[in-house]
Structure 1
Amino acid sequence: MAQKRLDYKGQSFSLSYEILESQNLSAPTLVILHGWGASRTLMKQSFGGLFKNFKHCYVDMPGFGNSPTPPFALNTYDYAEILKIFLGQLSLIPSHCSIMGHSFGGKVATLLEPKELILLSSAGIQVPKSFKVQCKIALAKSLNRFVPRLSRIFKQFLRSKDVENMDEVMYQTFKNVVDEDFSSIFAEFKSPCYIFWGERDLATPLKSGEKIHALIPNSKFFVLGGDHFFFLKGAKEIEKLYLNIKK
């Protein structure tokens, strides 16, 4: 594990990362980004022994894994800018790299405008909220407006499970990124894109993957067995499908 310190918007950030070298010294770089609440460890566990024609770069994005909580709440565009600075410190140019991103990491990867994009059940398509979630949002707004003290007491109960035990900065960051609509961003992406999806994904439904595929002109779409974390068991199949395209 290594650490890089960088400055962004006048504040200091520290990012934890790991490089896996290829036996081919001239191998291109594959940057692999985790999803919300995960870390580089999960991604290395899945892909560390695969894609051997690449040098791998795994990074804990700010607030995850071994990278400290950011000094202020971020949005996905902030994450992308921070990653650009980080990659620059490693003498890596995103447009010369292949970048893989799972879920939230898929949005960050797309904004980096890589030479080649690999999306794993990417976030970025707005999905209608369930009735239960709509009720929780309505209750939170009512309490905050009419009974602020009670709102603070019930805040933890009303929060999404995705942000349980997270501090206020990361909670605000989650609120910033969770409902972003990346439809126009996907539509503007012109480089090759390979989209892989779990057929039983409930966090980012299969219809979201189909829409991203329709939006990105130069994309290919593959459905695999599994849920939102289908790649934990399906990493070899992802590699196989990717390599078949390259033949």
Structure 2
Amino acid sequence: MEQAVISGYQPVNNINVYYEFYPNQASEETFVLLHGFLSSTFTFRHLISLLKKDYQVLSIDLPPFGKSAKCNQYVYSYKNLAQTVIKLTDSLGLKKMTFIGHSMGGQIVLNILHMTPELADKAILLCSSAYLKRSKLPLILTSYLPYFHLFVKYWFARTGVKKNLQDALFNHAIINEEMINGYLQPFLEDEIFVALTRMIRDREGDLPIEILNQIKTPCLLLWGDHDKSIPLNVGEKLNKDLVNSELIVLKDTGHALPEERPMEVFEYIKGFIDHYKTAAES
């Protein structure tokens, strides 16, 4: 039976991580949700309301985003973020899970599948980051300048939340004040920009093809045909490089699948889970 949300902070891997856990004792399936860059658990609010009725759900604010701590000593590499997620799930006593990653969160899911394949039953990658190189050396060196975080803040203010949402969504009509405020909230304090500066230095490149080829976990790839942030051809390449994957393209859809198509995403996830459940029973 679906129960009330358990939310709070867990100190893991030398940082306080905010999470929301929706227990469901009637379900054998646990989903772990990982959001994208400049985002948070807020991204998944529509999807969570659908998933929590039938499944157990854990949604995590990846440091330094959302309500998680912004710490200048933390290493903001994908590998360390993946280890942080692994340690958090362990501290909550979770074993076999299905990971759902949107955008950058998809790359962290892929790191988890590579590092601890035994943890994941399956994975769902929503417009996942892939094939991005590390930041170029001049940018990394520039990030050491005093007050560089103020340049990061200025850049963010210039582009603005609304403009970012317009780039991420095909259907601009769904942008409203609740959505804008939800994405803006974590960026009202200066600490986030100090942490983002650190992330510029720490973020390694996305997993190389030879590592992707080794991942055996069943992966469902969902992509918007109008994704400007991570175009569909990235999804097609990722589908080729993952040996056990399936790609589904959603029409008239941008990058922010959990915002734009939560019901369709939920139906595809349910179909994916049911397919493997039926296969296991037969």
Please, what TM-score do these two structures have when normalized by structure 2? 0.69
Aligned to 1:212: 238
- Mapped partners of 1:191, 1:202: distance in 2: 27
Listed as ranges, the gaps of 5+ residues in structure 2 are 1-6, 114-119, 165-186, 276-282
Aligned to 1:174: 200
- Mapped partners of 1:153, 1:29: distance in 2: 37
Aligned to 1:111: 111
Give the stretch that moved more between structures: 168-177 or 61-70. 168-177
- Is the contact made by 2:100 and 2:123 (CA closer than 8 Å) also made in structure 1? yes
Percent of residue pairs identical: 21
- Mapped partners of 1:197, 1:67: distance in 2: 28
Letter of the structure 2 residue corresponding to residue 229 of structure 1: A
Aligned to 1:57: 58
- Is the contact made by 1:73 and 1:170 (CA closer than 8 Å) also made in structure 2? no
Residue 181 (structure 1) shift:
4.2
Could you list the per-position Cα deviations for residues 49-69 of structure 1 after superposition, in whole angstroms to 9, with x for gaps in the alignment?
A: 236432000111111111011
User: Quick one: structure 1 residues 2 and 154, their matched pair in 2 at CA, closer, same or farther if it must change by over 3 Å?
Assistant: closer
2:78 maps to which of 68, 76, 79:
76
Note the 1:63-212 alignment, pairs <5 A.
63-70=64-71, 71-93=73-95, 96-113=96-113, 114-126=120-132, 155-156=151-152, 166-177=192-203, 179-212=205-238
User: Quick one: structure 1 residues 239 and 159, their matched pair in 2 at CA, closer, same or farther if it must change by over 3 Å?
Assistant: same
Listed as ranges, the gaps of 5+ residues in structure 1 are 130-136
Secondary structure, counterpart of 1:111 in structure 2: helix
- Is the contact made by 1:50 and 1:236 (CA closer than 8 Å) also made in structure 2? no
Letter of the structure 2 residue corresponding to residue 4 of structure 1: Q
Aligned pair count reads 225
Residue 103 (structure 1) shift:
0.7
Letter of the structure 2 residue corresponding to residue 98 of structure 1: T
Letter of the structure 1 residue corresponding to residue 10 of structure 2: K
Structure 1 stretches (4+) deviating beyond 4 angstroms?
151-162
Aligned to 2:255: 228
- Mapped partners of 2:270, 2:105: distance in 1: 22
User: Quick one: structure 1 residues 215 and 59, their matched pair in 2 at CA, closer, same or farther if it must change by over 3 Å?
Assistant: same
Q: CA RMSD of the aligned region, Å? A: 3.1
- Mapped partners of 2:149, 2:217: distance in 1: 48
- Mapped partners of 1:188, 1:159: distance in 2: 38
Secondary structure, counterpart of 1:5 in structure 2: strand
- Mapped partners of 1:179, 1:51: distance in 2: 33
Residue 229 (structure 1) shift:
0.4
Aligned to 1:134: none
Note the 1:30-41 alignment, pairs <5 A.
30-41=31-42
